[in-house]
Amino acid sequence: MKNLATLALGFLLSLSAHAATFTFTAIPDQDETLLRERFDKIADYLSQRLGVDVAYVPVKSYAAAVTAFRNNQVQLAWFGGLSGVQARLRVPGSEAIAQGYEDQFFKSYLIAHRSTGLKPTKVLGQELAGHSFTFGAKGSTSGRLMPEFYLREQFHQAPEEIFSRVGFSGDHSRTIALVQSGAYEIGAVNYAVWERELADGKIDADAVSVIWETPTYPDYQWSIRGDVDGAWGDGFKARVQQALLAMKDPELLKSFPRQEFVDASNDDFTPVEVVARSIGLLD
């Protein structure tokens, strides 16, 4: 009887684990409405592929995405390069399992308001100094980390010493809007968001333009907690990875936008970690 009771309890616990909703989040790098539209579709796709309930959990900041992952409020996350490094350092055993094909060689743009008179250049020069400047979110790889690294490398100064005023817009769409309006004269932005908003007719090319682009670097990726197999069964992590790599629906991929998802590993983001430590964004 004792063995039977133990088996029954184990069976019930198994059912409970598999009945739990598998949750994921994403860094809020764009307008919340666009994020919800994109990731609710991803939740439906994953639910169909994995055979479990899947839900997208929105967050208000990059730091909140990392915290939700650390606290197991979400088990999967679409992170930027820096936020992914931060999250995986806080959750031993977590792994980067997929990235967009384009994320292997991502880049940032510096954009400028027409009033500055700044023209496209391949080399950052003193003509940038003295203008107002906005990054994106403080934890953004493309909107802060990599642009700041290259600015420091070129000027041998902190951004606050280069520019007359430095701000943080919070997301890439907001950065574009602020520079386009003239609220800030220069900004750092994710190239993919810029290209998408330009194609959608949301950018006044007479008011704001790209003046410089960074060298390429690894950026966005899907990261998953290492304990998901314990909750959803052996091999669940591998099934999530396979589902992401098998995502071929053009509409789903277009919303990122990515042409496909490819394998990723923690080692792919070592360059991001090294840069973050070099400018004091990681302990």
Residue 283 located in a structural domain: no
Residue where a domain stops, chosen among 176, 193, 213 = 213
**Same domain for 50 and 33:** yes
CA atoms within 13 A on the CB side of 165: 8
Whichever domain contains 146, its CATH number is: 3.40.190.10
Looking at per-residue pLDDT, the higher value among 9 and 173 belongs to 173
pLDDT given for residue 16 in this prediction: 42
Residue 21 located in a structural domain: yes
Count structural domains, the chain. 2
**Same domain for 88 and 13:** yes
Residue 65 located in a structural domain: yes
pLDDT given for residue 29 in this prediction: 82
**Same domain for 226 and 100:** yes
DSSP code string of 32-58: HHHHHHHHHHHHHHHHHHHTS-EEE--
Domain of residue 125 covers: 107-213
Residue where a domain stops, chosen among 180, 213, 246 = 213
Q: Which of 14-28, 182-196, 205-219 has the lowest mean pLDDT?
A: 14-28
pLDDT given for residue 9 in this prediction: 44
CA dist 97 and 239 (Å) reads 11
pLDDT grade for 19, boundaries at 50, 70 and 90: low
| Contacts for 120-123: CB closer than 8 Å, 24+ residues apart | 120/209, 120/210, 120/211, 120/212, 121/211, 121/212, 122/212, 123/154
Looking at per-residue pLDDT, the higher value among 257 and 151 belongs to 151
Is 89's pLDDT higher than 80? yes
What pLDDT digit, counting tens, does each position of 152-185 carry?
Answer: 999 999 999 999 999 999 999 999 999 999 999 9
pLDDT grade for 202, boundaries at 50, 70 and 90: very high
Per-residue pLDDT averaged across 248-254, rounded?
A: 93
Percent of the chain with pLDDT over 70: 93
